[in-house]
Structure 1
Amino acid sequence: MRRSGESRYSWGGDEHLVVQFAEAMSLEVNFTAMAVSKILNDDRLPGIVDICPANASLLIRFDPDVAAPAAVEARVRAAEEQVAGAPARSVETRIFEVPVWYDDPFTNETGSRFRDRHQRPEGNDLEFAAVENDMDSVQAFIDAHSGSPWITSMVGFVAGLPFMFQMVPQERQLELPKYLRPRTDTPALTIGHGGCFACIYSVRGAGGYQMFGVTPVPIFDPEQRLADFNDFMVFFRPGDIVKFRSIDNAEYDAIRAEVEAGAYRYRQRPVTFDLDRLLADPDGYNAELLGALYGS
């Protein structure tokens, strides 16, 4: 188990404390960032303005007129020690489904406009992904992408954009380089991939991740029209567990109609994420999580 002495604590101006738990992302390190964040959130320490967990780090913004920097650092270090010394590594979270129209015309058209920035000018990003991951077909890659759950390691970059880490052993994780040069356009709600991370582009804009498809469901709703956004305009939270589900054109259109009518609800369930159980038996534990989502 890692101890707080291995982490790097540094200051960003007068109002920010940055904790780098490790140089590389892993499920264990990301769990530490999430667990420490939860402890600090539950504490409601006066003067803490914002707590932002990331892949392998944590950013705390505080008001130095209310909370002394030394006191903030001491509380964060204590929370890290508490996580490191816990007999079980688990957090309360949720699992939900994200429908995806893979190999859709929107990302394919966009990709075709930027092939001069891509490693493989011929074909599309899904075909490149299959080749790079030694798979014999695009469908095999889609099956691997949608077959196991992903954990949300952080949310940010643009409003509501989640980064997700595949919950499988490292040798089975899907990996891909980003575009050689970023695009100046990416359709909103594109399912992207760069390195070992999946993401969903919350809004239209520039981007460099490989594009696999689009989801018909919003993840950022400033008007909070849908019931799933009653609490906040951003749907994803760090620690969320995501299951992608492949859909076709007809189902994409049907879900979009539900969204436009304000009637769509995410399929989701509360779950306890147990890191040690995942590490001990990834396939068995993932099957249990999916059973909780789909009622089996």
Structure 2
Amino acid sequence: MTRIVKAVGDRGVLIDCASLDEVLAVAAGLVESPPRGVIDIVPAARTVLVTVDPAVLPVDRVIDWARDTPERNPASVDTAEPLIVDVEYTGEDLADVARFLACSEREVVDRHTGTTWRVAFVGFAPGFGYLVADDARLTVPRRPSPRTSVPAGTVGLAGEFTGVYPRSSPGGWQIIGRTEVELWNPDAAEPALLRPGRVVRFREAI
């Protein structure tokens, strides 16, 4: 199927994808060797946005490049060591998650820590990464009623994703634990600890 690519003004193009898996594969292909003038490549749940400097790279050339660049395996993009996140699995929704998955709370923790997660995209709040895995053993619905305030460091599940709240905010994810890892520091050289493609492993805090 021909990849659907459309201009977004004179500073970018948007690629429509059929699935999150396609988003990850398309983004992996684009980041391998972007032409001069590409400023950023931003994956989302069903799209990939490419922003450019139009004085260097006209949008019509970006459209051709974005349409013709082959997909890649996302695992080949970020070869850095996995980020280890220590978690206290004492979340308020851990029992509900176990009941939904028809397993024990211990098994929920074992599944979460035994899975290799990858940041699919970031959004919702600065530093918030949507992490996915190769299997669906921890797919759960969001809470029917969101909480008005979820503390920074809260680890949750929603749909096929897991994530860590980088700061206090409202949220409807199923809370399974908390971590002390700081995911967002606006004063750091790289404020966000998570970036698309980053591999993350969760470890139970002792």
1:97 aligns with 2:84: yes
Counterpart for residue 54 of structure 1:
44
Q: Spell out the pairing of 1:1-296 with structure 2 (5 A cutoff).
A: 5=2, 7-22=3-18, 24-26=19-21, 29-39=22-32, 42-46=33-37, 48-79=38-69, 81=70, 83=71, 90-94=76-80, 95-103=82-90, 124-135=92-103, 137-168=104-135, 170=136, 173-224=137-188, 231-248=189-206
TM-score by length of structure 2 reads: 0.88
Q: Deviation above 3 Å: which 4+ runs of structure 1?
A: 11-14, 63-66
Question: What SS class does the counterpart of residue 192 from structure 1 fall into?
Answer: strand
Bigger Rg, structure 1 or 2? 1
Aligned length: 205
Structure 2: how far apart are the matches of 1:134 and 1:52? Answer: 36
1:100 offset after TM fit, Å? 0.4
1:132-186: CA deviation from partner (whole Å, max 9, x where unpaired): 1110x21111111111211111122211111111233x4xx21111122322201
TM-score (norm 1): 0.63
Q: How far, CA to CA, are the matches of 2:192 and 2:89 in structure 1?
A: 23
The percent of aligned pairs where both chains have the same amino acid is 28
Between the aligned partners of 1:179 and 1:8, the Cα distance in structure 2 is 34
Deviations along 1:43-84, one digit per CA (max 9) or x if unpaired, are: 3422x33221234431112243443221110121232x3x36
One-letter amino acid of the structure 2 residue matched with residue 159 of structure 1: P
Matched AA of 1:102: Y
Equivalent pair of 1:192/1:198 in contact (CA under 8 Å): yes
Cα distance in 2 for residues equivalent to 1:92 and 1:194:
24
Note the residue ranges of structure 2 that are not aligned, 5 or more in a row: none
Q: Higher strand fraction: Structure 1 or Structure 2?
A: 2
Q: Provide the C-alpha distance between the structure 2 equivalents of 1:138 and 1:245, rounded to a whole number of angstroms.
A: 15
Partners of 1:126 and 1:143 in 2: CA distance: 12
2-structure distance, mates of 1:32, 1:64: 25
Distance 1:235 1:44, change over 3 A: farther
- Render the CA deviation track for 1:91-147: whole Å, top value 9, x for unaligned: 34221211001115xxxxxxxxxxxxxxxxxxx411110011110x21111111111
The residue identity in structure 2 corresponding to 1:241 is V
Amino acid at match of 2:34: D
Gaps of 5+ in 1: 105-123, 225-230, 249-296
Q: What residue identity is the alignment partner of 1:158?
A: A
* Residue identity matched to 1:38: V
Q: Which has the higher helix share?
A: 1
CA distance in 1, matches of 2:67, 2:198: 25
The range that moved more, 212-221 or 65-74, is: 65-74
